[in-house]
């Protein structure tokens, strides 16, 4: 790296060692921030114009040249060279090459500290919306499957043991509800972090940039950051974003675990489409749920990215430290992983076929209707603790006599306990058990139908949010 392309070094007697620059130079992936650095530089040029450091002609020349640079970067015609330490060096080099001393004036009143914080925050605000749009495609796939299987009865599980019958739609929507909260976390993250770091400079604020609220508004923020030290020295907004990504990864992984079970030969509930499955190099009969398994693996990396950022922040004094460069490594890895995961997951769920007859066949296994007996007894005035004991005895009787609850007769009931009247038999059907759960959020058909309707409304609202960003990148795309 030459002295001319570095943004620092005037007080040094020798240039940096290659080992230092190898460690210090931004990873190639970091140069994806160039478009955000450009729009922030244009906002800063206008600020320098207001401060009198740039004439109107100089300001316009910088803004126009930055537009040209943005087009060149987008087209792949302008690329960083080994001497470009980071995206800021890259953009300043190009600007000075074209405008000479006029381009060099742009550095006044700002620091790489506030530039770095701002570039990543702008990037995250755009990515939050793109990730939401990808996640909503998965939501739509889950809703469509739920609507198809609104009458498909399945066993619900606790401890991975058959517990009570539920609608298969209800099971699918349970995952959709978690993803809906993942979206709301990203929306809430965006609201809380719509504050611009520009104007904070190195840490104390700028003696030149005295109207940071104007550049903040230009860049789509609600306001500048309240404290210049906090603006450049904090990355809790990155850690929070990574938590939202990690939580999404966990929720995806739980859905993947169920899909893996459902598609196994032992369950045989769903058949994954060939276009979203892979095979074995040695076992010709295999059809593997690789998307689900790869997503479970990526979830570990998402959790790791969050942990890395938290650990990097834990012992840092304020304000800026180079440790904070981990913000880009962790963020880019998490975002890149999710952009691969989400379309594949949406396709897998959208195209999978459910064997409704097989699912229903399994719904009554494991005495999943036992709670209906206990509830019926409780409604007859039997204390529930006693009802629980009676029902347990009835299940034991069924096991000893090779029966299931749906095949019991009045004679069977009388042999177990006289309080088990004939009326309980009407409760011992899968349909009765489903429709009995008619409270808000329950698995009754009407409730699940209303849940679908409400969720569709939520998805629509979230989709509008994702599409309505009015930040600088949205205005230029």
Residues with active-site annotation: 159, 280
* Contact of 460 with 207, CB cutoff 8 Å: no
Please check whether residue 142 is in contact with residue 349, taking contact to mean a CB–CB distance below 8 angstroms: yes
Q: Are 332 and 32 in contact (CB under 8 A)?
A: yes
Taking the mean position of all CA atoms in its chain, how far away is CA 53? 43
- CA angle 177–182–186, rounded 5-degree value: 145
Residue found by looking up tokens 């300001």 in the block: 59
Q: Is 204 helix (H, G, I), strand (E, B) or coil?
A: coil
Which alpha helices (DSSP H) does 13-111 contain, by range?
18-24, 34-51, 56-74, 87-99, 101-104
Q: Which residues have a Cβ under 8 Å from the Cβ of 476 and sit 6 or more positions away?
A: 39, 70
3-state secondary structure string, 407-442?
A: HCCHHHHHHHCCCCCHHHHHHCCHHHHHHHCCCCCC
Task: Classify 323 as helix, strand or coil.
Answer: helix
CA gap 466, 20 in Å, rounded = 41
Q: Please, are residues 412 and 418 in contact by the beta-carbon 8 Å criterion?
A: no
Query: Comparing C-alpha atoms, which of 461, 458, 439, 463 is closest to residue 170?
Result: 439
Q: CB–CB of 134/343 below 8 Å?
A: yes
C-alpha dihedral sign at 44, 49, 53, 56: positive
Phi, psi of 361 (to 5 degrees): -55, -35
């Amino acid at each position: 790296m030459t002295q001319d392309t570095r943004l620092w070094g005037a007080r040094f007697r020798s240039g940096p060692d290659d080992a230092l620059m190898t460690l210090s130079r931004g990873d190639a992936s970091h140069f994806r921030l160039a478009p955000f650095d450009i729009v922030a530089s244009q906002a800063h040029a206008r600020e320098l114009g207001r401060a009198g450091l740039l004439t109107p002609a100089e300001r316009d020349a910088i803004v126009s040249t930055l537009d040209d640079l943005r087009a060149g970067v987008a087209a792949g015609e302008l690329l960083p060279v080994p001497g470009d330490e980071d995206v800021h060096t890259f953009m300043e080099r190009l600007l000075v090459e074209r405008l000479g001393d006029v381009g060099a004036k742009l550095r006044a009143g700002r620091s790489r500290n506030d530039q770095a914080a701002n570039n990543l925050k702008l990037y995250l605000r755009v990515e939050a919306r793109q990730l939401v749009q990808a996640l909503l495609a998965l939501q739509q796939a889950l809703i469509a499957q739920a609507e198809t299987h609104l009458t498909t009865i399945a066993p619900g599980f606790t401890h991975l043991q058959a517990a009570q019958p539920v609608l298969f739609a209800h099971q699918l929507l349970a995952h959709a509800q978690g993803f809906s909260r993942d979206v709301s976390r990203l929306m809430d993250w965006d609201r809380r972090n719509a504050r611009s770091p520009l104007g904070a400079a190195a840490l104390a604020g700028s003696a030149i940039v005295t109207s940071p609220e104007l550049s903040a508004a230009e860049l789509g923020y609600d306001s500048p950051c309240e404290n210049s030290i906090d603006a450049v020295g904090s990355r809790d907004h990155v850690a929070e974003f990574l938590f939202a990504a990690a939580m999404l990864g966990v929720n995806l992984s739980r859905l993947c675990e169920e899909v893996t079970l459902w598609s196994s030969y032992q369950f045989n509930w769903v058949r994954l489409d060939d276009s979203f499955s892979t095979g074995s190099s040695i076992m010709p009969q295999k059809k593997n749920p690789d998307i689900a398994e790869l997503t479970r693996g990526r979830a570990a990396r998402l959790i790791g990215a969050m942990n890395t950022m938290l650990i990097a922040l834990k012992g840092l004094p304020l304000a800026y430290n180079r440790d904070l460069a981990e913000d880009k490594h962790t963020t880019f890895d998490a975002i890149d992983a999710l952009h691969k995961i989400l379309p594949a997951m949406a396709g897998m769920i959208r195209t999978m076929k459910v064997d409704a007859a097989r699912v229903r066949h399994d719904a009554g296994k494991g005495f999943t209707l036992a709670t209906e007996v206990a509830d019926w007894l409780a409604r007859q005035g039997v204390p529930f603790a006693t009802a629980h004991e009676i029902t347990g005895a009835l299940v034991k009787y069924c096991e000893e006599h090779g029966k299931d609850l749906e095949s019991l007769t009045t004679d069977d009931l009388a042999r177990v306990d006289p309080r088990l009247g004939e009326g309980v038999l009407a409760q011992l059907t899968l349909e009765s058990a489903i429709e009995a759960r008619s409270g808000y959020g329950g698995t009754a058909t009407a409730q699940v139908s209303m849940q679908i309707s409400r969720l569709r409304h939520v998805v629509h609202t979230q989709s509008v949010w994702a599409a309505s960003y009015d930040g600088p990148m949205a205005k230029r795309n």
